[in-house]
Structure 1
Amino acid sequence: MQALSLPTWIIHISSVIEWTVAIWLIWEYDKKHPQRGWRNLAWAMLPALVSAMCAVTWHFFENLDSLEWLVTVQAAMTLIGNITLAIAAYGIWRISRKVQV
């Protein structure tokens, strides 16, 4: 675990926890406001969470060469996560326009 400093570990781990809590809060919000697309946003956040977990795992094992594939998975999950988040946000925007009109 010496690949990162203690403050960097705190930031990495708290970011994973914050992202998990955000997904849960959005999921709960969707229960109160169904058919508004919020559940899709919670699902769309999962690839970014996987990306963060890949980074933490790789650093936890001190950036082992045998786990370098995690870097590729992290990059792919970041790309997929950004795309799914954009799609989910667009869906919420479209639904909100229909509700207002």
Structure 2
Amino acid sequence: MVMLNCLSLPKQISAPKLEQPLPSKLETNAAKKLSCRRSSSSCVLIGAAGITILSLAGPSYAAALSEPSNALSLPTWAVHVSSVVEWATAMVLVWQYGDKSGFESWKGLSWGMVPLLGGALCACTWHFFYNAESLEILVALQAALTVIGNATMCVAAYRIYVSSKERSKNS
């Protein structure tokens, strides 16, 4: 990764100023040239993931391109995404257990987990778009799917209980 550090530019070297505003979406082509403006203390990071502009002080183009204050941090995203992956994996494992053990009622638990996965995807989608007010319906949908998912898992757990009780009577 290459970093242009504006603070360490010698005074005799002046970085070119941008003649026109940056496009609303940065192209990730590292070959594109962006300037490091000493007057606004903006710096450009160029790497494999694309181009990132850091603003060290004052208003600049970087401020217009930065994430909003309600953006989730990388560790928070890691928790969200890993939770969704973990839940989907649990659904698959519960299904496989029901399939291989012959206890078909366990497959119902896997189906009962589906609404909760939908709720998790609603939450991630809403956060992905920085909790946009226009997508607040996703919050209500997540809440509804959580209630439905809790009810379906309760029914599935009861069915597993009844099934295991019947098996113990037959043994």
Report the TM-score when normalising by structure 2.
0.57
Is 1:68 paired with 2:136?
A: yes
- Matched position secondary structure for 1:72: helix
| Bigger fraction of residues in helix | 1
Residue among 84, 95, 99 paired with 2:163: 95
Alignment gaps of 5+ in structure 1: none
Segments of structure 2 that go 5 or more residues without pairing to the other structure are 1-66
Alpha-carbon distance in 2 for matches of 1:45, 1:19? 8
User: Aligned Cα RMSD in Å?
Assistant: 1.2
Q: Which residue of 126, 146, 153 corresponds with 1:58?
A: 126
**Which residue of the partner structure matches residue 81 of structure 1?**
149
Percent sequence identity over aligned pairs: 50
Deviations 1:34-87, CA, capped at 9 Å, x for gaps: 344011000000000000000000000001111110000000000000000000
Distance 1:37 1:56 in 2: 30
Q: How many residues align?
A: 101
Bigger RCO of structures 1 and 2 (CA < 8 A, at least 6 apart): 1
Larger Rg: 2
- In structure 1, how many angstroms separate the alpha carbons of the residues matched to 2:78 and 2:166? 42
Larger strand proportion, structure 1 or 2? 2
Pair 1:22 & 2:127 matched: no
Q: Name the TM-score, length of structure 1 as normaliser.
A: 0.95
